[in-house]
Amino acid sequence: MKIPVFKSEDQEADWWYANRKEVERELRNAKPVTDASGKPMSVAEIVAAHVAEQNRMRLISLRLPASDIDRAKKQASARGIGYQTLIRMIVHEALQDKKPRRART
């Protein structure tokens, strides 16, 4: 389900109300978040893990082609997230890949 970018809280409230059945269905079908041992985590544990992860982040400087940044901004906007968040997600997913890709030359 794609959640749109809203212009106002009223518009957002209307959207959530209109889509409540689909949201509920997705939540019921969602897999539980588990810890490293496979044990389901409580909401408090998930929040605590997220805060701990945020505190472990390091600031880096990375040069990217302007066209890639523009493309990331468009894709991020369509998802309703910031472009830096999208780039961080892409890097994270690529690093989780079990089959390392060969560098392009």
Whole-prediction pTM: 0.48
DSSP string, the chain: -PPPPPSSHHHHHHHHHHTHHHHHHHHHHSPPPB-TTSPBPPHHHHHHHHHHHHHT---------HHHHHHHHHHHHHHTS-HHHHHHHHHHHHHH-SSPPPPP-
pLDDT tens, position by position, 84-100: 999 999 998 888 877 76
Domain ranges across the chain: 61-105
pLDDT tens, position by position, 45-64: 999 988 888 888 888 999 99
